[in-house]
Amino acid sequence: MRARIATTLSAVALALLPSCAPVNSAKSPAQEPAAIGEAAPKDPAAWRLAIPTPGVKSTLSFPTPHLLTLENGLRLYSLPTQASTLSLSVVIRHDVQTLPNDKPGLAALTARLLTEGTTVHPDLKLAEAIEALGTDFTVDTGRDGTTISIEALPADLDAALKLLAEVAIKPAFSPKTFDRVRAQWVDNVRESLQDPRSLSSIIGFEALLGKGLGTPVHGYPDALLRYTVQDIVRCHSTVYLPGNASLNVVGDFDPTTLTKLVQKHFGEWRKRAGAQRPILPTLPAATTTTTTTHVLLLDRPRSPQSAIFVAHTLPARGAPGYAERELLVTAFGGLFTSRLNQNLRESKAYTYGAFGNYLATRHFGALAISTSVETKFTADAVREIVRELSDLGLPTTPRPLVSDEVDRARADIVHSLVEHLGHTNRISADLVQLFVHDLPLDQLAKLTAEIQAVPLDALRRTATELIKPTTLTIAIVGDAASIRPALNALGYPVKDVQKLGDGESLQPSPM
């Protein structure tokens, strides 16, 4: 009540003040209006009215790292920079080809357990050692591998390398810790299976790529609950090998000192007996069995929105023409101003956002489009997505790519690379690509020129050759009773989805 009275009194006091009147009403000579018939005084700051012009166009010079391969096969990518922090990462190459298809999520769960304790620093002692450095570990598992990262001050290089080596090479894998972490992991995965957009992408990738390549990185609850701590130990001994790993170091360091410290902490990492199977088999590019555009529908009764996922296979990251594919997808759906978002959000008002990304892995690539729309606009949104894909190609289409769209995409890609140079951890993340995809050391340095050199007509041809709107995979999570009739009217086969590839039953909670 006191607060309300005080607020009211303040409002009354403000209302009694003269409206818009300054405390000192005396006007300076510059504020006096010109007399009738006299010329207005010249504005001393007229330059404010001029629109700034672009400065001199500069070129990006992305640095090339130095590569040193240790005797045990570990590859050291180092890049000295004038930065106040160091970024250190161990990268382990693996994918679904490394492990049996009946163990989805095992690699990700193994990586999650690495930072729970080592044989040198078990349990909380590892946390205390990390806190003593004023830092923390970050572990990320993707379709091509796992990255274990830590940031430290240059003076702590020795201690940081020691802890990083311990985590990668000497994890404790305590059974008690395994039970706790697995339970948390399963809960997180179950939560993701209640998110319509996440669920639509899982369904779409499984249908597009099949069991194995299309398996979600984090696995399924039913499969995760079958794993034991012995499965984790076996996965680590099979995959975490020096010949299948790289160490990235970016920051302020002395190269000679770094080499000695890496030898000191990682030189003892040896291949284990019985773990000599190749981690990177030579595989043909992934292809989809999709011969016609079809819709996979998961019923979410009474849902006010539909989550839509549309996918199409593209070449893998290392295949020729990466710059063209990256530029094409960015122009199509990678920006807020891209044609996909401008259509579905700005023009049609179906959604708050619609975006397309190029997922480029070692064995496959995919154009992945994701959005959520109001239920009644589901079929209309699908129709517009397909239309936009159809119009990307040669000038004979109704709305082919134009120069303005492509120029915005060029600028975004190049400026993103420039922005990375201000952060050692982002530079280190870029270096991961070089190792994981077996790319030349100067690949990132050349990427800008490659992006700038792609002509518009070549980009249109790439769209026509790679993207076939008649062979799309469409996954939708929404109220089936409301959206099925309109989807049938589109003419695409509609198939109900009730289980995922591991036999996981899908029962999304209703709204």
HEC profile of 274-285: CCCCCCCCCCCC
> Which pLDDT score, from 0 to 100, does residue 434 have?
94
> Which pLDDT score, from 0 to 100, does residue 280 have?
43
> Which pLDDT score, from 0 to 100, does residue 123 have?
85
Q: Is the pLDDT of residue 210 over 80?
A: yes
- Written as six digits, the tokens of 508 are 């999304």
> Which pLDDT score, from 0 to 100, does residue 506 have?
65
Q: 98 with 107: CB under 8 angstroms? A: yes
**Which residue, chain included where needed, has tokens 């009194």?**
9
Distance of CA 218 to the CA centre of its chain: 15
**What is the dihedral sign for C-alpha 465, 468, 469, 473?**
negative
What residues does each domain of the chain span?
66-266, 294-496
**Closest residue by Cα to residue 458 from 354, 363, 320:** 320
What DSSP designation does 49 have?
Answer: G
**Closest residue by Cα to residue 131 from 109, 156, 148, 168:** 156
Q: What is the mean pLDDT of the chain?
A: 86
pLDDT of 408-441, one tens digit each? 999 999 999 888 998 999 999 999 999 999 999 9
Q: 349 with 374: CB under 8 angstroms? A: no
Q: Is the pLDDT of residue 158 over 90?
A: yes
Q: 492 with 483: CB under 8 angstroms? A: no
> Which pLDDT score, from 0 to 100, does residue 343 have?
96
In this structure, which topology does domain 294-496 adopt according to CATH? Cytochrome Bc1 Complex; Chain A, domain 1 (3.30.830)
Lowest mean pLDDT among 126-135, 213-222, 288-297: 288-297
Collapsed DSSP state (helix, strand, coil) of residue 505? strand
**Per-residue pLDDT averaged across 132-147, rounded?**
93
Instruction: Tell me whether domains 66-266 and 294-496 share a fold.
Output: yes
Q: Is the pLDDT of residue 378 over 60?
A: yes
- What CATH number matches the domain at 66-266, 3.40.1160.10, 3.20.20.140, 3.30.465.10, 3.30.830.10? 3.30.830.10
Q: Is the pLDDT of residue 248 over 50?
A: yes
